Amino acid sequence: MEYVNPEGLRLDGRRPMEMRQLRAEIGVVSKADGSAVFEMGNTKVIAAVYGPREGQNRSQQSNDQALVNYLLQSQPACLNFVLSKRPSFWVMSLHGCQVRCEYSMANFSTGDRMRKPKGDRRSTEISLVIRQTMEACILTHLMPRSQIDIFVQVLQADGGTRSACINAATLALADAGIPMCDLVTSCSAGYLNGTPLLDLNYVEDSAGGPDVTVGILPKLDKVTLLQMDSKLQLDTFENVMQLAIEGCKAVASYIREILLENTKQLESRRGVK
């Protein structure tokens, strides 16, 4: 099947280096501390952030506290061992806040109706990926003994849900006022019919070609997430990854615009200007 026709247009009329249309909105779920909707073409995702708030697992708390106090006084050298061997929630959160994430897809998000919206392996894997990516950029040491929950709900899935979720989570964290070292933006790219393509949709994704998802910290110029499936030549891979990074930077400038606009609105509402 031809994914790039001879004139150089893809199935939905985009150029190979063109991203889908981006749309974002902040403050959608009023009950959450921070929330955002992010749309990349037909992929629509809602992210809500609750936190920082008190940690949830309190059953082991008193035991751990006693143990840690004892070790601090008598044998501080053992403390490292304890922390590495028994990483219970409370002990881990001593140093910084715990970040938890859950990714769920709505029943109606895909073309065929999904039976089980949560708990399947793909959702668990994506939850883990988002958690690790966001944890890298949140300044967790500023909020010890607390917990941040990031919930991502996919309303419409048309390829690139992972990237849309990370972008939505960044906006939601910014809306919640949680200190981060930089924004995290993500974009995917692929290689079909001999051309690197930016921002694959569902049809192009299921074509069997490679799919490279990249997440970067734009200002610091560092890559935090890199995933690829299928196979690719090494020099082609460099091109595709570079293309994805350009896409991430474009998303970052859009996110910055949205955040600036939101701040101006907040300012005018509070009567600052």
Partner 1 sequence: MVLLGQMWHSSLSYVEATYSFWSLCGVSPGARRRASDLRCRQRPNIRASPLHPADLQSHSVALAGYPTPISVMVGLSLGEQNFIKGGIAQDLRTDGRKRLAYRPIFVETGVIPQASGSARVKLGATDVIASVKAELGKPNPSHPNKGKVSIYVDCSPTAEPTFEGRGGDELSTELSSALQRCLLGGKSGAGAGIDLSSLSIVEGKVCWDLYIDGLVVSSDGNVLDALGAAIKAALSNTVIPKVQVAANASSDEQPEVDVSDEEFLQFDTSAVPVIITLTKVGKHYIVDATTEEESQMSSAVSVSINRQGRICGLTKRGGAGLDPSIILDMISVAKHVSEQLINKLDSEIAAAEACDEETEMDS
Residues that bind partner 1 (CB under 8 A): 28-33, 35, 42, 46-48, 50, 52-54, 58, 100, 102, 104, 106-108, 110-111, 113, 117-119, 149, 151-153, 155-156, 176-177
Q: How far is the CB of 176 from partner 1 (least distance, A)?
A: 8
Which residue, 167 or 224, is less far from partner 1 as judged by CB? 167
Q: 120 or 238, CB closer to partner 1?
A: 120
The SS3 of residue 52 is strand
Q: Hey, CA dihedral for 124, 125, 129, 132, is it positive or negative? A: positive
Least Å distance, CB 156 to partner 1, is 6
Distance, CA of 252 to CA of 45 (rounded, Å): 17
Query: Using CA atoms, how far apart are residues 253 and 270, in angstroms rounded to an integer?
Result: 26
Q: Is 33 helix (H, G, I), strand (E, B) or coil?
A: coil
Closest approach of Cβ 149 to partner 1, in Å? 5
Q: How far is the CB of 46 from partner 1 (least distance, A)?
A: 6
Reference 22, options 221, 251, 197; nearest CA is: 251
Nearest CB to partner 1, comparing residues 145 and 256 = 145
- Rank residues 109 and 224 by Cβ distance to partner 1 and give the closer one: 109
Q: Which is nearer to partner 1, 200 or 243 (CB)?
A: 200
Q: Using the 8-state DSSP alphabet, how is residue 21 labeled?
A: P
CB of 61 to partner 1, least distance (A): 12
Q: Which is nearer to partner 1, 58 or 219 (CB)?
A: 58
CB 154 within 8 A of CB 45: yes
Helices 234-270 & 161-176 angle (0-180, nearest 10): 30
Which residue in the block uniquely carries the two structure tokens 């609750």? 50
Closest contact distance (angstroms) between CB of 253 and partner 1 is 26
Backbone φ and ψ for 28, nearest 5 degrees, come out as -85, -40
124 sits in the region (left: phi over 0; alpha: psi -120 to 50; else beta) called alpha
